[in-house]
Structure 1
């Protein structure tokens, strides 16, 4: 879940997972608060997964959230 605000309004929030090679993979977007996206943990041997959200305003300007790291216990 992401909280987002903008002086021109938030149009949508897009959610990303950062792969081990550094590439960001889009998981989907939400155009109504509370902004959220369900996802399954990737089938990987890595113990941590990083995510971030990108909020777009009505002028298509955007800003990225800080990254969140999730530790997977197996």
Structure 2
């Protein structure tokens, strides 16, 4: 899986996840349960992951939706 977004903003994650799901691209928000360790302060960022073979397609979709500035750089 490839990491596309790393953020503390739940609205960005929700929007991106919804876009990907509507396009049929499986995604996973990692580190959601870390709030137990951090005391629900929202300090630790959540990561949006997609299937490696569909990462390019997902990236284009998120850029078209205006989330280009949220994307992690490709490695």
Q: Could you state the TM-score of these two structures normalised by the residue count of structure 2? A: 0.31
**Which has the larger share of strand?**
1
Relative contact order (alpha carbons < 8 A, sep ≥ 6): 1 or 2 greater? 2
**Which has the larger share of helix?**
2
Greater Cα radius of gyration, structure 1 or 2: 1
Q: Could you state the TM-score of these two structures normalised by the residue count of structure 1? A: 0.32
